[in-house]
Amino acid sequence: MNIVLDRIDFNNLQQSAVVIYGSEVATRTLPFKRDEVAYINARRADDANALVVLNRLPHKLYVQNFDSDLNSEEALEKLRRAACEIQKMLVKEKVQEVAVSGLGIIPEELVAFVEGLHMANYRFDKYRSKKETMLNKVTVDKLFLDAKTLEENRVLWRRIDTCRDWVNEPIMYLNAPQFADILKAEAEKIANVKCTILGQKKIESLGMGGLLAVNRGSEDEARFVVLEYKPKGAVNKQPVALVGKGIMYDTGGLNIKPDDYMQEMKSDMAGAATMASVLLTAAENKLPVYLMAFLPLTDNRPGKNAYAADDILRMYDGTTVEVVNTDAEGRLILADAIAYADKQNPELIIDAATLTGAAVRAIGSHAIAGMQQDAASPFSLMTIVGNQVYERIAPMPFWKEYDELIKSELADLRNCGSKPEAGCITAGRFLAHFAHHPYIHLDIAGVAYYAQQESFYGVGASGFGIRLLYAFLQMRTEREYLTA
């Protein structure tokens, strides 16, 4: 979708338009007829967020009332969701161009609406013979935005769309070597971004026992991708390490999933796609933050000489792990990646992973299950930022007592808890063993992929978490909160 800036003249509109009607303004300034004003205000009196559609043949004017008395986080989210509903109407009526302006609103409110419009307009339809007629141009009133601000947001929104494409792509078209090559090609387009791909032999020489074990059942070789963005004048000397789970498809391995759990498992690489997208967005927008991304990539299959329950693995850092369940594979590849990232002496490690069904059962599909070790200040800031962008974090306890559940009689650790409770926490505690720098764990299992429509996040890959992490890194350029 193309988003452009222009001055919008309501008296000479040649296309359909959306007007966000915020706090009370003088009636005489409203670009409506007297009877229209009366109708709008009557609807507004009943519902402060009511949508009023005025037919201005051959076009329509969509007046989105806006309750400015709400707290800012909730108000902005309501605008994103309102944009989604209007997008549905526009698509149904095959409207391809629309203008957006506002009355009695501030720029952040207009940006939130356009953000919702853009994200709702995403479709993964490359394999459909018949495609919907979507919005292809949005003209934003330049009274509210400057070109630089719009471009920074466009970069972010395009990266979210690309991430959703990657996650939605079936494994038969996007395996680990192919994804690694795509990431390298993306990195080569952006200044100050370096991509290093570690192939199978290098992974073997490094002794990444978790990644190698999970890969044993696959026909495709594993890859370990390292992205580095090191701008001049970065505010941090040591990198922020972004670690993303890259299971390109998860069958469960020899502990194979039942069929109703295997659907959508192409999305098990959403953590890697998310972290790559965050780094590439920051680089395109020239954020002065030194970042590295560590992305272990493989699928988890029951074929060939697949690893099995009762196997004992030696991880990259020398830790031995008893395999209890081969469907707890994500933490194995992440453990190697976190240990590798830890050796780069980062000031903070953040991982994102579609890690546990336990996280979904605990908090549902409206937030990320978040945990921290020695990173209280950055985690607090991230939680605040999550509320602001409405990609919220549900903080989970991370007490060391949970370590008792992952102790093994045969090895240093076991890859699943000895009891079924606290599954998302024990998975996080397993990963925390491999981090010796401030560490934040984000379990995105409930939000990375939606089987049914979830407002502007749509159906399928959501891109949830990219806006959160990007906003968090933006704050890093202003405040020293990344160390505990």
CA distance 339 to 377: 22
CA 24 vs. chain centroid, Å, equals: 35
Q: Are 467 and 160 in contact (CB under 8 A)?
A: yes
CA distance 9 to 12: 6
Backbone angles phi, psi at 435, to 5 degrees: -110, 125
Active site residue 123: no
Number of other residues whose CB lies within 10 A of the CB of residue 305:
7
DSSP state, residue 314:
E
Q: Which of 135, 195, 124 is nearest to 164 (CA)?
A: 124
State the catalytic residue, choosing from 245, 266, 331, 467. Answer: 331
**Side chain identity at residue 218, one-letter code:** S
CA distance 440 to 432: 9
Give the chain's end-to-end CA distance (angstroms, integer). Answer: 41
Distances (CA, A) of 25 to 21, 31, 102, 227: 9, 11, 11, 49
**Strands 193-198, 223-229: pairing kind:** antiparallel
State the catalytic residue, choosing from 43, 81, 184, 257. Answer: 257
Which residues neighbour 199 within 8 Å (Cβ) at sequence distance 6 or greater?
221, 223
Burial environment of residue 69 by CB neighbours within 10 A (0 to 12, 13 to 18, 19 or more)? exposed
Strands (E), 396-434: 413-414
H or E element that contains 333 = helix 330-342
Q: Which residue carries 């709702």 as its tokens?
A: 120
Active site residue 331: yes
Q: What is the largest CA-CA distance in the chain?
A: 80
Structure tokens at 374: 């020695």
Kindly list the catalytic residues.
Answer: 257, 331
